[in-house]
Chains A and B, each alone.
Chain A
Amino acid sequence: MESTTMQQRREEILAKKAKLEELKRQRLLRKEQNQARQSIGSPSPSEVLQPTPRRTDNDKRDLDDLIYNLVGVGGSRPNSTQPGSPAGGRATRPHSVISASQLSSDGEAPASTSYQVPVSGMVDREMQTLSIAPLATVFEYDGNEVHASKKEKEVITYSKGVQASIDWSPPKSRGAGGSDSERDESPTRSPRASKRLSRRQKERDEEIRAQLKKEIEEEVRAAQKAAEAGEIQAGSKENYPFKTLNNEELTAVENSDDFIEFVERSTKVLERALDQQLDYDILADYAHGGLDVDEEDEGYGSSGAKRGRRIKEIAQFWDERWSKKRMISDLGFSTKFPELVLASYTKNPSAPHDPDGLIQVWNLHMHDRPEYIFHAQSDILTAKFSPFHPNLIIGGAYSGQVLLWDTRAKSSPVQKTPLTGSGHTHPVYSLDIVGTQNANNIISASTDGVVCGWTVDMLSQPQEFLELTSPPPAKTDDMAVTCIAFPQSDPTYFLAGTEEGSIYPCHRYDRAGAKAGVDGRVKYAGHAAPVMSLDFHPAKGQVDLGDLVLSSSVDWSVKLWKVRPPAATGPSNASAPGAAQQVTPILDIAREDLVYDARWSPVKPSVFALVDGAGSLEVWDINVDVEVPVQKVTPSDSKRGAFASMPSGLGYMNRSLNKLAWERNEGKRVAVGGMDGVVTVFEVGGDLGGMETRGEEWSGVKRLVGRLEAVGEGVNGK
């Protein structure tokens, strides 16, 4: 026992001597290196460290940790130095705690800013068994120093400071995560060994430590100054786990579903962000600019109008790739997300490889690109958002199919009716979704007079099948249905507009006094050409106006009808069987062009809008005037439409507007679209849209209808 202690002591003394020698050498070396460093610029630590083949694995690890410490970036990073280095973050770092104290107690050279790898490698190996410093000394470094050196990540030397910031670990663990490399090598001291230190040595150690500390402080200060002077050659690059992909990796990444999905998602977000900026700059400083005063009345085509009646163009949608050479066949706003507008398109005759049918869902906050694109094999003639399910879009196709798309799925329909068999075999120009949230049906009508009812869950087979035929006086049975419309209150009864111009009431089911199908006892006659649209009044106010119907036709007119309630037709029919009762419109508005669509405002009882073959959108308020529209605008030419490149002489054809749709919730926005494939969205002023309606507007319409009815009867001589 005694002898072993003695021997150890001797060994220690030997080591000590060696160490002192080394210390001197290091001092010299440090000076040299300091000079060298200044000229070279700080070499990246990994480079310096690499030529140390003799190191044990542990040491290498420590080095790596040191580097990470200095570089100070968490997470994954390319392991440039050693394969064995811990890949993880700080958590996995070997405990480097003790080395700091060891350093100072060893009385080694004061810390230097560079690594003295080769030297230390030689000397330290001899001293592996030595232990000098009491472990506690580590704590002597005060916090300030720690923080200071931590901030200066480029100052590689002060690994001690960095170490101190790391969680303390059991003393026996090897130290030196952050310390200079030669110190890592220096004795692995066990606590047992440290006890045996002589007091003298301890004192000396203290001395040296104090000296060391002073020097460290100085250097930290110097480094800070340097940093302040902006002389950090830093290394964002050093900090950054940067990696270059080669071609293969690049393709691999770009073909990954993750990437494709990410781009899809993130570019949408960005486009919205960029477009939003165009609308309004939240950093606008009105005190400075003064240039763009908010144009109150400068909306397109609103010249001279009262503010409440102005119409302002707010967006136009057209896509070079998809909208080209297609015509708009239908438009619709989403009820759940009022900023979404869907537009269905006919085929592009010059692109036979593109799908014929197309639906684009546009977002008012994203101007250059559709939010969603849906495809179909055949031209889509009509489409709308399901009012009961915000994700679903229902469409009717030229092939006679009824299709269902889901915004959560891909671009092809999630469901469609079969091409042959029980459904439609003629184009479906009109469809509607009727019922309630929990029980609703899709009702579709094709040009051969077939009306089918479907459930959203199953499109393989119609739930209802009804063939409309022309009532007796007609020469043929055939009835070419161009459009259907359901009243708000009754999903079992609808109107069907035909190509010959008449409008017939129809029942979905047998009922008292009437069979399912066309009710031959009443005929709404007035139009001389195909009926292009039918729209029941969306009565939601204090007066029931639900029996008012607006029809438009290519006979250059819009007509207002007061339809008979289905039950009331019974008795009158009994008296004169076979003779259909002809009902004339209560108001006939002649226009200067083909009228393709006419729709009631969803909120204002007296307001409706129409679009015509001349390319105008007209907004009418029948309380104000029944002969001229209160507003008339044409979409601007700013977007390149399908005919944009053509000479303006062709203006007549290309400007034609086919469809219009009101935003259903607030009634402030109207979307129109036509031959050139451009969707234009207008915003109407407070008199023509918006939630607040006054009672007199409702009663005004009621009075007007009463007056018109009286006049009509007077004219008819009844």
Chain B
Amino acid sequence: MAQNTPDETLSLLTRLSQKPGVQSTLVLSRETGAIVRTSGLISNSTSANPNSTLPASSGAAPENYTNGKKEGGIQSAEDVASMVWSFISAASSLVEGLDKEDEVKLLRLRTKKNELVIVPDPKFILVVIHDTPPA
């Protein structure tokens, strides 16, 4: 309720991206697919706007970073963005297929290595990739 200024909004995102275990965050525009904010992801320098990058979690040390992600091929913000985009489209059509008036509110995708939490909204999409307890 109290957060009304862009600065504080940003600090919220920064906080989130610096929570322990959080590898990367990504804010997309739903309409254009444009990347609004990222953290912990490598952007293709040519196409991305450096201003949209936030500091990543300090907990995600470089070693961690590469371990977790290079293997999986998740490196570039654009790649993640496009994959998330199509994932959401697929999920949306699934939900719509089940019930026309329903909509996707939250996607949690557990993988062997980490978890993606996706919050789709009419205008934006927030994605967090974070470590899960070893299981």
Q: Show the binding face of A for B, using Cβ within 8 Å.
A: 74, 76, 78, 236-237, 239-247, 249-250, 253-255, 258-260, 262-267, 269-271, 273-274, 277, 281, 283-285, 288-289, 368-369, 372-375, 407, 409-411
Contact = CB atoms under 8 A, between A and B. Distances in A.
A176 B51 CA distance: 43
Interface of B: 1-6, 9-10, 12-13, 15-16, 19, 21-22, 27, 29, 31-36, 47-49, 51-52, 78-79, 81-83, 85-86, 89, 106, 108, 110, 115, 117, 119, 121, 123-124, 126, 128, 130, 132-133, 135
B3 A264 contact: yes
Contact of A267 (B16, B82, B106): B16
Contacts of A246: 49
A96 B2 CA distance: 54
Nearest to A76: B31
Contacts of A258: 123-124
A263 B34 contact: no
B52 A250 contact: yes
Contacts of B15: 267, 368-369
Given A244-B48, A411-B2, A254 B132 contact: no
Nearest to A409: B1
A244 B1 CA distance: 30
A247 B51 CA distance: 7
Given A236-B82, A267-B13, A281 B6 contact: no
A240 B135 contact: no
Nearest to A288: B135
A76 B89 CA distance: 13
Given A271-B19, A283-B135, A410-B1, A240 B33 contact: yes
B51 A250 contact: yes
19 contacts: A236-B83, A236-B86, A240-B81, A241-B32, A242-B82, A244-B35, A244-B49, A246-B49, A249-B34, A250-B49, A250-B51, A259-B9, A260-B9, A262-B123, A266-B119, A266-B121, A270-B119, A274-B19, A368-B15
Contacts of A241: 32-33, 85
Contacts of B117: 270, 273-274
A13 to B, nearest CB: 50
Contacts of B34: 242-245, 249, 253
A245 B52 contact: yes
A267 B36 contact: no
Q: Give the most central of B21, B31, B135: most A CB within 10 Å.
A: B135
A237 B135 CA distance: 33
Q: Give the most central of B79, B123, B124: most A CB within 10 Å.
A: B124
Contacts of A260: 3-6, 9
A254 B13 CA distance: 12
Contacts of B29: 245, 253
Given A250-B52, A270-B119, 11 more contacts: A74-B89, A76-B32, A240-B33, A242-B34, A243-B34, A271-B16, A277-B115, A283-B132, A284-B135, A409-B1, A411-B2
Nearest to B13: A263
A250 B50 CA distance: 11
A244 B132 CA distance: 31
Contacts of B86: 236, 239-240
Contacts of A265: 119, 121
Contacts of A269: 106, 119
A255 B17 CA distance: 20
Contacts of B47: 242, 244
A258 B126 CA distance: 13
Q: Which 3 A-B pairs have the closest CB atoms?
A: A240-B82, A411-B2, A373-B2
